[in-house]
Structure 1
Amino acid sequence: MFEAFYGFKKTPFCRDLPTTELFPSNTLEESLSRLSYVAERQLFCVLTGECGTGKTTTIRRFRDQLDDTRYTLIYLADSKMTPRNFYKGMLDQLGAESRFYRGIPNASCIKRSS
């Protein structure tokens, strides 16, 4: 409705906006430079910020400029993630099966054959 009113050809500020069409603000460029620094040195990075500040958009833009043959980007977005879920999410994205230590079963549950 507002697209026609303002003469837009498509809806602005949508989530499926190609990252090549993002406004190259100083903040975005600085963030991309820092993420590139981390990737080139094979470091671990955590990107944090308030809701709506563009964290996911920045990661999308960064992912699109990475060489997929050299880098694997792991993206976990859950502010209330437990350590166990964090590791499971990382392993899942790397294509590995998560097998967590569950301890020794209760001795009364072990069936012994004679």
Structure 2
Amino acid sequence: MNAIDELATNRFLDYWGLKKLPFPKVADPTNTFLHPGYDQALIRLNQLLYTREIGVVIGEAGCGKSTLLDILLSQISSTRFKIIHVPVPQNKPRELYRSISAAMGVNTSWFGADALKVVDLLTYSYIESSRPNLIIIDESHIMTPQTLSELRLLTNTKVKNEPLITLMLFGQPSLASTLKLPAMIPLAQRIGAWVTLGCFTEGETANYVDWQMKNAGSDREIFLPATKKALYRRSQGNPRIINRLGWEALHQGCLDGVDVITEELFAHVCKNLGPHLAN
């Protein structure tokens, strides 16, 4: 943050009486508002670390999958598990194997990458470190059925009579549609946990806004009840959209010199945003 940005931030915080910025783009996994579905999701995903099955987490963009993953990763000890995180998978199988290898710290550019080489890498890692392999693939919905099918070889392989990997797939609803295709049955049969994250209800949205402001240091109600209802209608309870709208409303309120965020001010803010947020 440069000096100008820091000055503007300090003025914003002083204006609203805050200690830190609310509605951050990236949540702190050690201090976050728990989505109503997080507790059960975390229990089920943690169980997979021992059953070595496949876990699938489905949710619309912005509904909290990344935050759930961050919380999960903060709970998993890297001394007990070899965590292999692929943030953006590739569509072609060979490229996916290259991404998995890269996540393990292995450069495959000089010998290429295929399923058998990756199996060898995972096997060596498991035997050498005695840590089970956990492969987490974000944005899994962009993978083609062919590429998803390739993962079956990894899930079928065993070392010392134990599955070679635990696999977790995070993605948008189209991933669920792909996994329900007939060609996906062999892979889908190995799914041990299927988690679907929804958006907030109206009441949860209000609680989330209040938590964000209190967590940032506010000791008063800045978003009026009617405003929180309007925020829910605009966002449909999507946390990412709530964060964007909440931040924009506070910024506009600071510029206008108001003490609270009214429904009228919020409506004005929405009109000046993109069409996907203004309707």
* TM-score calculated relative to the size of structure 2: 0.32
Where does residue 113 of structure 2 map in the other structure? Answer: 100
Q: How does 1:73-112 map to 2 (within 5 A)?
A: 73-78=83-88, 81-82=90-91, 83-98=93-108, 99-100=112-113
Equivalences, count: 100
Tell me how far 1:24 sits from its aligned partner: 2.6
1:39-76 Cα distance to aligned partner (Å, 9 max, x none) = 22223334332110111111111001111111123332
Tell me how far 1:89 sits from its aligned partner: 1.3
Matched, 1:55 2:65: yes
Matched, 1:70 2:83: no
2:84/2:100 contact within 8 Å kept: yes
Higher relative contact order (CA 8 A, sep 6+): 2
Match for residue 28 of structure 2 among 18, 23, 35: 18
Secondary structure of 2:103's match? helix
Where does residue 30 of structure 1 map in the other structure? Answer: 40
1:53-104 Cα distance to aligned partner (Å, 9 max, x none) = 111111111001111111123332337x313332211111112333236xxx
Q: Which amino acid aligns with 1:33?
A: I
2:29/2:71 contact within 8 Å kept: yes
Secondary structure of 2:21's match? coil
RMSD: 2.4
2:35/2:64 contact within 8 Å kept: no
**Structure 2 Cα separation of the partners of residues 78 and 48 of structure 1:** 16
Secondary structure of 1:100's match? coil
Of Structure 1 and Structure 2, the greater strand share is in 2
Secondary structure of 2:95's match? helix
Q: How does 1:39-50 map to 2 (within 5 A)?
A: 39-50=49-60
Tell me how far 1:15 sits from its aligned partner: 4.0
**Structure 2 Cα separation of the partners of residues 84 and 5 of structure 1:** 53
Q: 1:87 to 1:46 in 2, by over 3 A?
A: farther
> 62-71 or 39-48, which moves further after superposition?
39-48
Of Structure 1 and Structure 2, the greater helix share is in 2
Tell me how far 1:21 sits from its aligned partner: 0.8
* TM-score calculated relative to the size of structure 1: 0.69
**Structure 1 Cα separation of the partners of residues 50 and 18 of structure 2:** 39
Q: Which amino acid aligns with 2:81?
A: Y
Is there any run of 5+ residues in structure 2 with no aligned partner, and where? Answer: 1-8, 115-279
Give the ranges of 4+ consecutive aligned residues of structure 1 lying more than 6 Å apart after TM superposition.
none
Is there any run of 5+ residues in structure 1 with no aligned partner, and where? Answer: 102-114
Q: 1:18 to 1:26 in 2, by over 3 A?
A: same
Q: 1:100 to 1:37 in 2, by over 3 A?
A: same
Secondary structure of 1:73's match? strand
**Structure 2 Cα separation of the partners of residues 44 and 97 of structure 1:** 26
